């Protein structure tokens, strides 16, 4: 269970006001006593992530949040951090404290969850000290059926688990990385540069996950550095089904892979797996409409170690400046921060999102797309500025069609 990458799990957020019993409820659900349970309202502001096995869903991540009420000194910060959680939430549990009742905070939260298409499970906690009529009344007030529970007395916890399983989104099944492009016994060649930017002693997550998807589909993979690619292709008895390369090596690899062999990038595979290839392809067209002085948001989903020639901080700004032939204004965000207001940006460039869950990236993508703000990811941008997107999109007919329109 610990081996499933964090980003691929169903994310369940526990939301509600301070002292509703959110942390106690997570303890009850996970059968542990690790989270901070406190009688003082608002102990923490940062969301806490915990893993558990929830059959039949498998490994899930529970997100314990601080509170949706903005009272107190840290109130605004707490609400902001809790709202940020919604971007990565696949299912939300709203916890109501019968003593506190239902107010604006709960109604607004429910509305926001509905806007974001996040399935909701409602729970009334502390029923060990609540009258039954009160529970029915609260359900009516909020307009959703609330599951009565007691976190500390562990009453109806199994029923709540059933509600969670029942309401878990069915589209949680993620799309293929490469499995739909290959058949059993076929060969895939993966090109993995081992340079300064590569972590010591291991492969990075997108490479490992692609490899795993090849194996899951009963196919085989040959992994080479870009320098060994040409020789390796010549050694193979027949052409591989597809070659996948790290985007930064795309140009060299492009020259070494004969035109008859399909070639794409890990970043294109992950643009599809983690986001939406069609939205990104539309976004790429927006790059060509940039003008000097335009404002560009560069967003990275994690705070990874940065090299001197960092792709987000140095390379992409340089390429874009060269492309428009003038100055551009760049803003950078990383990790869980992503601006609420996107209107002022002319382009958003997002990282591959390997450490983020699909829901969060999709939310960012759809938000930008609905405002007609072009959004692209690193790999597709790199492919485009190097003039090789035509080739990288060939294995994906729909995206290719949008691109050629």
Ligand X SMILES: Nc1nc2c(ncn2[C@@H]2O[C@H](COP(=O)(O)OP(=O)(O)O)[C@@H](O)[C@H]2O)c(=O)[nH]1
- Give contact residues for ligand X (rule: CB under 6 A): 16, 18-24, 37-39, 125-126, 128-129, 150-153
CB of 138 to ligand X, least distance (A): 15
356 binds, among Mg ion, ligand SF4, ligand X, none (CB under 5 to 8 A by kind): ligand SF4
Which residues on adjacent β-strands are paired with residue 250?
Answer: none
Q: Nearer to ligand SF4 by C-beta: 255 or 314?
A: 314
- 24 is a contact residue toward Mg ion (CB under 5 A): no
How many residues form the binding site for Mg ion (CB under 5 A)?
2
Q: Rounded to an integer, what distance in angstroms lies between the CA atom of residue 177 and that of residue 179?
A: 6
Residue 23 sits in the site that holds Mg ion (CB under 5 A): yes
- 317 binding partner (options ligand SF4, ligand X, Mg ion, none; Cβ < 5 to 8 Å by kind): none
Of the candidates 63, 4, 1, 52, the one whose C-alpha atom is nearest the C-alpha of residue 29 is: 52
* Closest CB to ligand SF4: residue number: 351
CA nearest to 403, candidates 378, 395, 36, 19:
395
Least distance (Å) between residue 13 CB and Mg ion = 13
Q: Which CB atom, from 80 or from 285, has the smaller least distance to Mg ion?
A: 80
Strand partners, 63: 13, 49
CA distance readout (Å), 108 to 45, 64, 99, 114, 215: 19, 19, 19, 10, 46
Least Cβ distance, residue 264 to ligand SF4 (angstroms): 17
- List of long-range contacts for 50-53, beta carbons under 8 Å, 24+ apart: 50/26, 51/1, 51/2, 51/6, 51/9, 53/1
Is 104 or 202 the residue whose CB approaches ligand X more closely? 104
Which residues, at least 6 apart from 238, have a Cβ–Cβ distance to it below 8 Å? 187
Residue 14 or 299: which CB sits closer to ligand X?
14
Burial of 131 (0-12, 13-18, 19+ CB in 10 A): exposed
Q: How far is the CB of 379 from ligand SF4 (least distance, A)?
A: 9
CB-based contacts of 260: which residues, under 8 Å, 6+ apart?
A: 239
User: Cβ neighbours of residue 136 under 8 Å, at least 6 residues apart?
Assistant: none
Binding site for ligand SF4 (CB under 6 A): 300-302, 304, 351-356
Q: Cβ 120 to ligand SF4, closest distance in Å? A: 28
What is the layout of strands, in order, in the sheet containing 347-350? 329-334, 295-300, 347-350, 375-377
* 167 versus 334: smaller Cβ distance to ligand SF4: 334
Q: Which is nearer to ligand X, 94 or 361 (CB)?
A: 94
Q: Which stretch binds Mg ion (CB under 5 A): 17-25, 53-61, 218-226, 393-401?
A: 17-25
Distance of closest approach, residue 139 Cβ to Mg ion, in angstroms = 23
Shortest spacing between CB 275 and ligand SF4, in angstroms: 11
Query: Rounded distance, CA 380 to CA 281, Å?
Result: 8
Shorter beta-carbon distance to ligand X: residue 39 or 173: 39
Residues that bind Mg ion (CB under 5 A): 22-23
């Amino acid at each position: 269970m610990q081996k499933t990458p964090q980003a691929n799990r169903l994310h369940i957020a526990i939301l509600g006001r301070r002292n509703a019993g959110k942390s106690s409820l997570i303890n009850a659900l996970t059968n542990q006593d690790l989270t901070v349970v406190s009688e003082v309202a608002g102990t923490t502001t940062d969301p806490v992530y915990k893993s558990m096995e929830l059959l039949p869903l498998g490994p899930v991540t529970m997100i314990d949040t601080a509170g949706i009420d903005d009272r107190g000194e840290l109130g605004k910060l707490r609400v902001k951090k809790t709202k940020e959680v919604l971007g990565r939430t696949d299912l939300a549990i709203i916890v109501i404290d019968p003593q506190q009742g239902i107010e604006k905070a709960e109604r607004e939260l429910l509305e926001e969850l509905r806007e974001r298409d996040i399935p909701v499970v409602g729970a009334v906690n502390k029923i060990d000290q609540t009258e039954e009529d009160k529970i029915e009344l609260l359900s009516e007030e909020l307009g959703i059926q609330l599951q009565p529970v007691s976190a500390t007395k562990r009453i109806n916890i199994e029923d709540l688990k059933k509600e969670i399983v029942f309401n878990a989104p069915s589209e949680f099944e993620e799309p293929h990385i490469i499995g739909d492009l290959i058949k059993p016994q076929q060969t895939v060649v993966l090109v993995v540069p081992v340079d300064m930017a590569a972590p010591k002693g291991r492969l990075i997550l997108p490479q490992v996950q692609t490899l795993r998807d090849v194996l899951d589909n009963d196919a085989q993979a040959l992994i080479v550095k870009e320098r060994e690619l040409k020789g390796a292709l010549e050694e193979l008895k027949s052409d591989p089904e597809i070659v996948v390369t790290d985007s930064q090596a795309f140009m060299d690899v492009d020259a070494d892979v004969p035109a008859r062999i399909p070639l794409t990038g890990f970043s294109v595979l992950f643009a599809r797996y983690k986001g939406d290839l069609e939205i990104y392809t539309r976004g790429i067209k927006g790059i060509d409409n940039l003008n000097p002085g335009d404002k560009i948001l560069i967003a990275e989903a994690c705070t990874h170690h940065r090299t001197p020639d960092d792709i987000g901080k140095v390379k992409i700004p340089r390429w874009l400046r060269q492309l428009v032939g003038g100055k551009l204004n760049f803003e950078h965000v990383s990790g869980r921060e992503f601006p609420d207001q996107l209107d002022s940006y002319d382009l958003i460039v997002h990282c591959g999102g390997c450490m983020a869950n699909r829901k969060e990236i999709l939310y960012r993508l759809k938000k930008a797309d609905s405002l007609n703000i072009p959004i692209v990811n690193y790999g597709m941008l790199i492919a485009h500025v190097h003039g090789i997107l035509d080739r990288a999109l060939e294995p994906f007919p729909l995206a290719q069609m949008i691109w050629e329109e």
